[in-house]
Structure 1
Amino acid sequence: MKSERELSGKTVLLMAIATGIIVANLNYIQPIEGLIATTFQVSKAAVGVVAMLTQLGYAFGLLFIVPLGDIFNRYHLIQIMLILSILALLSAFLSPSIIIFGLASLLVGITSVAPQIIIPYAAFLAPSLHQGKVLGNVLSGLLTGILLSRSVSGLLGSILSWQYVYLIAAIACTILLGVLHLYLPRDPRQHQNMHYGKILASLPNLLAKEKHLQGAAINGFCLFGVSNVLWSTLAFYLASQYHLGSDVAGLLGLLGITGVLFASIIGRMVDTYSPRMTIGLGILFSTLAFIIFASIGHLFIGLIVGIILLDLGTQFGQVSNQAIVQSLSLKASSRNNSVFMFSYFLGGSLGTFFATFAWSRFGWVGVCSVAAIFLIGALLGHLFLKEPKKLQRLS
């Protein structure tokens, strides 16, 4: 049974803030890619590979670390991962070369998976009829962390050496560690007598058995891939088209506040109507965004409107898919989340890689073409893979 008395409004807020601070580590690199290339005297494509390594590291952390949430005490596991994340951030701050920085970025990705332990923990503690609302609130913290990380990184990169972005991130995570140690609810579950190898071996079986999980994984792969297509190349486009720097790239990230404001509303829509409908809206908004980028992206107003639509589409997809995944099984909630988020960030890392490659060869047209491929995949998955018309909450 869930411990509903443990999940107060303050606890939900703390979980939302924690997910935002930690997930921010993955996105600090995006607005400062040009600065990193200049510092290490490497090509922008090389820095794009490093950005991909961060996302790829996160994907593998999701695959190999997050399932531990079904075995070990989540209260302790979250704090252990936060300590490792702090060490990885300090390594990035001190990196003397692009190779060392690339390895540090990989470790930043691997160790920043605590939000994906917190999310199923919040769903576990939430009253069953309000899981969508709780997840929407926690995920609004996640999106806030993503958009503020771009803004903070871009602004700091314009006034300080970009390395200090990682030092400040390490300090923020250290403060968060102390707060979580004091105020995060203790995990009421007993230690599960399950072997780690069997846990990992069960992941393919979960994906094969859960048709709804398959649909969520494909949709998350495509929609987050589309999001990263833009954010991994926006700084390059701004410099080329408008001769603007990392500070503007960071400020544009603030436009994602639209998605944050709608997160709780999206969660209630999922509870009231169906995730299939809200996922369809996510695909629609993301498609409209890239139609605008491709047609009038050379106008600044086009970028602004497109970014708002894209972040809104990403949030619709994220909240809806998480609601599906967390409704499947209590005992396997961390493993289901691991499968979904591995696919999610694998899509993000490939979106980063192919968009950066396309930019270096074909410019903005190439970037929009890569997005079109991901969007077609999202639409086909939505049409042909199984997604629930209505969620059946587990308690």
Structure 2
Amino acid sequence: MLATVCAAAVSTIYAIQPVLAVAGAELGVSPESSGTLIAAGQIGYFAGLILLVPLGDLLNRRRLIGGLLALTSVGATITAAAPNGGVAMAGLAFAGLFAVVVQVTVAYVAAVSPPGERGRNIGAVTSGVVIGILGVRVVAGLLGDTLGWRAVYVLLAVLCAGLAVVTRGGLDPDTRTSGDRYTRILRSMGHLVTTDRLFLSRGLIAFFVFASFGSLWSGLALPLGAQPWNFGTTEIGLFGLVGLAGALGAGRAGRWADAGHAQRITGWSLVLLAASWLLIARTGSTPALLVAGVVVLDFAVQAVHVSSQHLLTTAHPGRAGSVIGAYMAFYSLGSALGAVTTAWAYTSWGWWVSCLFGALYALAGFAVWGSAQLWVRDRRPKINQPTFRTRYATMISRR
């Protein structure tokens, strides 16, 4: 149920992407300004991460999840009924603001899960986020060609409203809160960046990982719609099914994190992420290599993402909401960076340069991870090791 909550909420932000051209034309938004429809949802989401997610450390998360879902439904309704671009942007921003119910849900799962099952449960819920981000492309593409783009948001409004009712009655109350004040929690989010090395390293890793992720999914429609494939909206939307295979990485990474392998899995996954771009760049006559690269990329991204959330919620069990909110702010900024650079690179030099940016973002994330590992190793207490001369003298004396 909670995975469905995450899928439905995050879909309100990403559903506009596969129908952007059609929606922009109907709303009177020029092609060069149509990107503002996408940006509106992301801006609202970023604001919600900072202002609303910390409420999960103060309020009963069961009630908060239901309330945020209801307000997300209102935003989707405004978007579906929008007569012009200005109202549509307001509706998308409103929906994005309250779609941060995703992070409140993750914090709820972390709080109510036994320590040995926390990673697995976070992975299961995070798989819903992946399904929402990628699966809505398929649904929006099909509905956009048959019933119109507004039908997508009508469906999401109904789904979010129904889930608001279900979660209110189906979830156990969560009474474990920090007992802190809201303003102090907001200040503590800023202190995390300057005082908590684990948080800073994981935030920077998320920034680069999702810049790489955004480079793919914000720009993939460009080469798919050009030679040699010339795919239409429906075909491009169906291509999102390939990425859903990466959702399997979330659950598996959660189990690995429970077993104490979160740091190791992060390193290997960042290497896989960089290597996946070698396959994604191969947009030749057959899409087989591209498909394989997308699967590897999504698997690697989710493995890193779940491992990071597991480490952070374990390190800060009393304020999981504010920590996840601050962490996801890095995610949001990284996604925006990837979306901007991939479009610019593609129009200037072609798809291979977009892929180069994606790979460089992955390598930057690996560099951050490696630096963090070296710092931890250097901070460990040094044990005096015997020198070669001492070992040799000991050996002679024993003989």
Per the normalisation by structure 2, the TM-score is 0.88
Residue 190 of structure 2 corresponds to: 204
2:279 aligned with 1:292: yes
Q: Give the aligned partner of residue 325 of structure 2.
A: 338
Give 3-state SS (helix, strand or coil) of 2:318's partner: coil
Task: Supply the distance in 1 between the matched residues of 2:39 and 2:280 (Cα, whole angstroms).
Answer: 22
Question: How far apart, CA to CA, are the structure 1 residues paired with 2:31 and 2:268?
Answer: 34
Which residue does the alignment assign to 1:3?
none
Letter aligned with residue 220 of structure 1 = A
For residues 30-88 of structure 1, what are the alpha-carbon distances to aligned partners after superposition, in whole Å with 9 as ceiling and x for unaligned?
22223234434555552234323322321221111101111111111111211211111
Q: Separation in 2 of the partners of 1:50 and 1:353?
A: 14
Alpha-carbon distance in 2 for matches of 1:41, 1:229 = 27
> In the aligned structure 1, how far is the partner of 2:165 from the partner of 2:230?
42
Partner residue, 2:305:
318
2:42 to 55, 75, 78: 55
**Which has the higher mean CA deviation after the structures are superposed, 99-108 or 219-228?**
99-108
- Check the 8 A contact 1:69/1:334 in 2, yes or no: yes
Residue 279 to residue 106, structure 1, CA distance change in 2 (3 Å): same
Equivalence for 1:223: 209
| Matched AA of 2:207 | F
**1:334: how far off?**
0.9
1:79 alignment counterpart: 66
* Partner SS, residue 178 of structure 1: helix
1:143-165 Cα offsets, whole Å, 9 max, x none, are 22222111111111121211211
Q: Shift of the alpha carbon at 1:209?
A: 2.3
* Unmatched tracts of structure 2, length 5 or more: 378-399
Q: Give the SS at the match of 1:25.
A: helix
Q: Deviations over 1:286-312 (max 9, x none)?
A: 212222222346642232112111111
AA partner of residue 15 (structure 2)? Y
Aligned counterparts, 1:109-124, within 5 A: 109-124=96-111
Q: Specify the alignment match of 2:112 in structure 1.
A: 125
Helix, strand or coil for the counterpart of 2:315? coil
The one-character-per-residue Cα deviations of 1:107-140 (angstroms, maximum 9, x if unpaired) are 2211101110011111111111221111111112
Inter-CA distance 377–50: structure 2 relative to 1 (3 Å threshold) = farther
Q: 1:95 aligns with which of 82, 95, 100?
A: 82
Q: State the match for 1:69 in structure 2.
A: 56
Bigger Rg, structure 1 or 2 = 2
Change (3 A) 1:68 1:42: same
Matched to 1:239, the amino acid is G
Q: Deviations over 1:164-187 (max 9, x none)?
A: 111111011111111112101112
Letter of the 1:132 partner, please give it.
G
CA distance in 1, matches of 2:219, 2:28: 19
Evaluate the alpha carbon distance shift between residue 251 and residue 22 of structure 1 in structure 2; reply closer, same or farther with a 3 A threshold. Answer: same
Q: Which amino acid aligns with 2:183?
A: G
- 1:377 Cα deviation from its structure 2 partner: 2.1
Can you list the C-alpha shifts for 1:257-309, whole angstroms capped at 9, x where unaligned? 32223322211112224212211232122212222222346642232112111
The change in CA–CA distance for 1:344 and 1:297 in structure 2 (over 3 A counts) is farther
Cα-to-partner distance string for 1:311-363 (whole Å, 9 max, x where unaligned): 11111111111111111112221111111111111111222222233334434
Do the aligned partners of residues 324 and 128 (structure 1) sit closer, same or farther apart at CA in structure 2, a change above 3 Å counting? same
Cα 1:360–1:48 change in 2 (3 A) is farther
* Equivalent pair of 1:56/1:346 in contact (CA under 8 Å): no
Corresponding residue number in structure 1 for 2:220: 234
Map residues 254-273 of structure 1 onto 2, 5 A cutoff: 254-273=241-260
Check whether the contact 1:53–1:106 (CA below 8 A) recurs between aligned residues.
yes
Distance 1:304 1:267, change over 3 A: same
* Whole-Å separation in 1 of the counterparts to 2:42 and 2:292: 26
Give the equivalent residue in structure 2 for 1:189: 176
Q: What secondary structure, in the 3-state scheme, does the structure 2 residue paired with 1:181 have?
A: helix
**Given the superposition, is the C-alpha separation of residues 66 and 298 from structure 1 closer, same or farther in structure 2, using an over 3 Å criterion?**
farther
- Structure 2 vs 1, CA of residues 267 and 351 (structure 1 numbering), >3 Å: closer, same or farther? same
Q: Corresponding residue for 1:372?
A: 359
Larger RCO, structures 1/2 (Cα 8 Å, 6+ apart):
1
Show the counterpart of 1:392.
none
CA contact (8 A) 1:20 1:144 kept: yes
State the SS of the aligned residue for 1:368.
helix
2:235 to 248, 252, 268: 248
1:188 shift after superposition: 2.7
Query: Is the contact made by 2:49 and 2:325 (CA closer than 8 Å) also made in structure 1?
Result: yes
Over residues 1-26 of structure 1, what are the superposed CA-to-partner deviations in whole Å (9 max), with x where a residue is unaligned? xxxxxxxxxxxxx2222212212222
Question: Which stretch has the larger CA shift, 315-324 or 356-365?
Answer: 356-365
Count of matched residue pairs: 375
Which whole-Å CA distance do the structure 2 matches of 1:357 and 1:99 have between them? 25
CA contact (8 A) 1:52 1:350 kept: no
The 1:314/1:68 distance shift into structure 2, 3 A limit, reads same
Identity over aligned residues, as a percent? 28
Report the CA distance shift for 1:376/1:180 in structure 2 as closer, same or farther (over 3 A).
same
Asked whether the equivalents of residues 215 and 385 of structure 1 are also in contact (C-alpha less than 8 Å), the reply is yes
